[in-house]
Amino acid sequence: MVVYDTKSGPNVVCLISDELLSFEFGIAYEVFGLPRSEFGDDWYRFSSVAVTPGFIKSSGGLPVFVQDGLEALEKADLIVVPGWPNLTAPVSQAVIDALRDAHGRGARIASLCSGAAVLAAAGLLDDRIATTHWRFAEELSRTYPEITFDPDVLYTDDGDVMTAAGSAAGMDLCIHIVRQDYGMEHANIIAQGLVMPTHRDGGESQIIPMPVARTRESSRLGHLIDALRKDLARGHALSDLAAEVGMSVRTFQRRFEAMTGLPPSTWIMNERLRAACNLLENSTELQLEVIAEKCGFGSLPAMRHHFRKKLGLSPREYRRRTVARSNIALSYAIDPVSNDHDMALP
């Protein structure tokens, strides 16, 4: 198997096909394959495979040379299927078998956009909730009735199998994976480089009814959003927020959700969670009770409730995992030769 760099982190393999969807592939490469010397030698390794190695063409006619075949999936830690050009064409049995084998030995499998069709054909989405671009959800639901396709979310994460909606949501999922593997700081750096939000929750809507607010409203709401981020500890009554921007409560709710894709209360809670994760990861001297107060949860039990509801783990467990990742990275940096490069957390 050809590996394009000498890094020692998780091995990410992109499964591509003829008529390659270049944008989705570019997302996977930008996040997992782009050289990032600032992250050290334990960053992701990246390569691409095709059913038949050699030249394939992208959807824009650009020829692409793929050196590795499906056997390379045997050593993948994460397999990304970056879109699939034909939802109705049968997926080859060789691809199905390779994906099932990889999943069976513990590799994570992720699809971007129409790539969900490949995971569905391999049976990896059976009895799960998955997503894809909203344009494809109905067709895939008819073809695979044993799968529940949710066209209203950005991405889903079942731990071993993940799916993302349309193009930009693929970036959200890939950054979500980085956040799981390396922590929020690394994920934030990549998001900033892509000039995109550092964290969009997978449950956010694919479609925002009014993506661009009126200029005057956008300015007022933009200033309010900046102020909210700087003062999450304070209680934010809906009526007070509406009054600050000179709107009725009903108008404020409608305009805020049109601009952000989320109701005000949900957006504020997501920001509190984001801030708490950052403090748990980077301010390990702070007690959990202090973080709960700083981030506006009011109490540790309340913060614990929202962490479990949204992230599936407690604040203490989140801190333990991120500290463990940091210790692993430090161990590699000190003595990369004597480490077995196992990225799994205890």
pLDDT in tens, 236-257: 899 999 999 889 999 999 888 8
**Whether domain 267-334 has CATH 1.10.10.60:** yes
User: Can you tell me the distance from the alpha carbon of 145 to that of 137, in angstroms, rounded to the nearest whole number?
Assistant: 11
Query: Is 11-193's fold the same as 267-334's?
Result: no
Give the highest mean pLDDT range of 68-77, 255-264, 267-276: 68-77
DSSP state, 91?
Answer: P
Q: How high is the pLDDT of residue 202?
A: 61
More confident residue, 4 or 180: 180
The whole-angstrom separation of Cα 162 and Cα 122 is: 14
Top mean-pLDDT range of 131-135, 190-194, 257-261: 131-135
- The runs of H, that is alpha helices, within the chain are 22-28, 93-104, 116-121, 134-143, 167-182, 184-193, 215-230, 238-244, 249-260, 264-282, 288-294, 300-311, 315-334
Contact assessment for residue 87 and residue 17, using Cβ atoms and an 8 Å cutoff = no
The C-alpha atoms of residue 10 and residue 186 are separated, in whole angstroms, by: 15
pLDDT score, position 200: 61
For the segment 29-40, the average pLDDT, to the nearest whole number, is: 90
Name the token pair of 241: 């927020």
- Look up the pTM and report it: 0.64
Domain ranges of the chain: 11-193, 215-261, 267-334
| pLDDT range class, residue 185, cuts 50, 70, 90 | confident
Pairwise CA distance, residues 191 & 175, whole Å: 7
Q: Write down the pLDDT at residue 198.
A: 57
Task: Write down the CATH number for the domain with range 11-193.
Answer: 3.40.50.880
What average pLDDT does range 254-265 have in this prediction? 84
What is the model's pLDDT at position 209?
44
Residue 205: is its pLDDT beyond 70?
no
pLDDT tens-place string over residues 206-235: 444 433 344 445 567 888 888 898 899 988
DSSP assignment of 117-181: HHHHHTTTTTTSEE---HHHHHHHHHH-TTSEE-TT-SEEE-SSEEEE-SHHHHHHHHHHHHHHH
Residue 82 vs residues 17, 27, 29, 257: alpha-carbon distances, Å = 9, 8, 10, 30
